[in-house]
Amino acid sequence: GKRKRRALVFAFLLAAFLSGAVFSLLPGGFFGTWHRLFSLFGLTDFSRNADGAPMALHILPVGKADAILAECDGKYLLVDGGTPDRGEQVCRYLARRGVRKIDFVVNTHPDSDHIGGLKAVLEEFPAERFFTPELPPDITPSDFAYTDVIDTLREKKIPAEHLSAGEELSLGKAAVQVLAPVRAHKSVNDNSIVLRLVYGGTSFLLMGDAEAEEEDDLLESGAELRSDILKVGHHGSKTSSTQAFLDAVRPRFAAVSVEADGNGLPDEEVLGRLSHMGAAVSRTDVSGTLLYLSDGKQIIPKTER
């Protein structure tokens, strides 16, 4: 009867609490308990779809913001962390993935919807290196989302390094090519760090909030832009994803990180251009977490819903 059901619920909650209390004393802290609790109670965890994949790209549903995890050979790259109120969500996802240390944290640019959640991440996870674009002083932000992260970096004694076109990082056997910024711009968005990840014969282009001016820089730079997956710039805004740029990229898959809040994003024209060239478009507001798995030859897309 009701008394028996209540007793079962109480027993489950007590077991979960005690398990959490015990696990929280183990390495990995509070967020590290999530991975263990999911396993203990047989709960489904979408991120486990990446288990066994040589390389995986996870695009998290953090609203009209960006938080992207790339993993290869046990190495981790986090690109942006969403808004400040999404930081714990990002931490939970990383913990469920079994992340203990982040090799590279890249903030594409310091707008709050890209840098804000990184404060929580940097407090919870050791980070080997942190990168952010070098901005002219007159457009360097002074809001708390930015200054809180800078303060956390100082506390952790992690230098804020800059990246510019032509540099390259190694994420296990995957190459992380830095395509932009090519030069300084007056807008924060057009100073975005643009990354092209290459694993075997597969490639992923992450645009940050780059708009038409920075897309023109990329076209003029002569860099290889052709990529299997395009993380669409600036949440699908009409200020980005020009036809000339998309013609150079020719993506098979396009991912849009966006919120279903009636703000007109992603722009219908942008979606039309992508669909017209045959790209399979996925959106975080519709499909939740977007996951792309690569074995170096082919890409398998998966969505949370």
* Backbone phi, psi, residue 210, to 5°: -55, 135
What does the pLDDT read at residue 258? 96
What does the pLDDT read at residue 261? 77
Confidence of residue 207 (pLDDT cuts 50, 70, 90): very high
What does the pLDDT read at residue 16? 59
Domain ranges, ordered by start, for the chain? 1-43, 53-303
User: Does the pLDDT of residue 228 top 80, yes or no?
Assistant: yes
What does the pLDDT read at residue 264? 87
Mean pLDDT of the chain: 92
User: Does the pLDDT of residue 34 top 90, yes or no?
Assistant: no
The whole-angstrom separation of Cα 246 and Cα 128 is 34
Q: What is the mean pLDDT of residues 203-208?
A: 99
The topology under which CATH files domain 53-303 is Metallo-beta-lactamase; Chain A (3.60.15)
pLDDT in tens, 2-18: 566 666 656 666 665 66
- How many Å separate Cα 279 from the centre of its chain? 20
Nearest to 239 by CA among 280, 279, 270, 208: 270
pTM of the model: 0.88
pLDDT in tens, 132-161: 999 999 999 999 999 999 999 999 999 999
253-256 vs 229-231, strand pairing mode: parallel
Nearest to 120 by CA among 44, 256, 29, 255: 29
The whole-angstrom separation of Cα 35 and Cα 219 is 43
What does the pLDDT read at residue 35? 52
CA dist list (Å): 222 to 132, 179, 182: 23, 10, 11
pLDDT in tens, 38-94: 555 556 799 999 999 999 999 999 999 999 999 999 999 999 999 999 999 999 999
The whole-angstrom separation of Cα 266 and Cα 233 is 10
What does the pLDDT read at residue 263? 79
